[in-house]
Amino acid sequence: MLLRVVVTLLLLVVPAGCAGDPPEPAAPDKTSPAAVTAKLDRVLRYDFEGSFAGVEEHDGRIIVYRVPSVNLDNRVYREAGEIPVDYRDAKYSIKDMHGAIGRIRTDDAALRARGVVVMGLAATKDGSGIAISTALGNDHDRAVLTERYPDLDFTLAPAAPKS
């Protein structure tokens, strides 16, 4: 009788495995704002590269930066479900910004000949232009870049020192 009581108590106390087993991880929430934002970033970069600029999640809302496009807006609406979405106009699409980055990379030798050493390039998430870091990030670099790319909006900063 005592053995039956001990076995019954063990079954009641440890129903999901041994006491030392870690708990099962929770399944990721595919409907959370962060998860939907990540999915939108993947989908819109591929399907709408000519109008999509970037996306971010802020305080439970999704913010989509894009060159206005009804088709893109409809896709976001379908994917977002109940999550609130803010649409913000962008000057450049991801395709435009990657094209500009390609131009700058192609011009590397010409820029170096004028004393500008480009260390990093990135498309801005809000579609406002290109973030450029140069070895010095100074007025000379800005003047050379502005002269060479008069149609391009960019921010300029000195490259971060290596640690």
18 to 9, 13, 27: CA distances (angstroms): 14, 10, 21
| pLDDT(88) > 60 | yes
What's the CA gap between 35 and 154, in Å, rounded?
30
121: left (phi over 0), alpha (psi -120 to 50) or beta: beta
Could you give the angle at which helices 33-47 and 70-80 cross, rounded to 10 degrees? 150
pLDDT at 144: 98
pLDDT tens per residue, range 91-111: 999 999 999 999 999 999 999
pLDDT tens per residue, range 100-145: 999 999 999 999 999 999 999 999 999 999 999 999 999 999 999 9
**Residue corresponding to tokens 């000057």:** 91
Neighbours of 37 (CB within 10 A): 21
Domain ranges of the chain: 33-89, 94-158
What's the CA gap between 8 and 159, in Å, rounded?
67
3-state secondary structure of 100: helix
Tell me the two tokens of residue 4. 């039956």
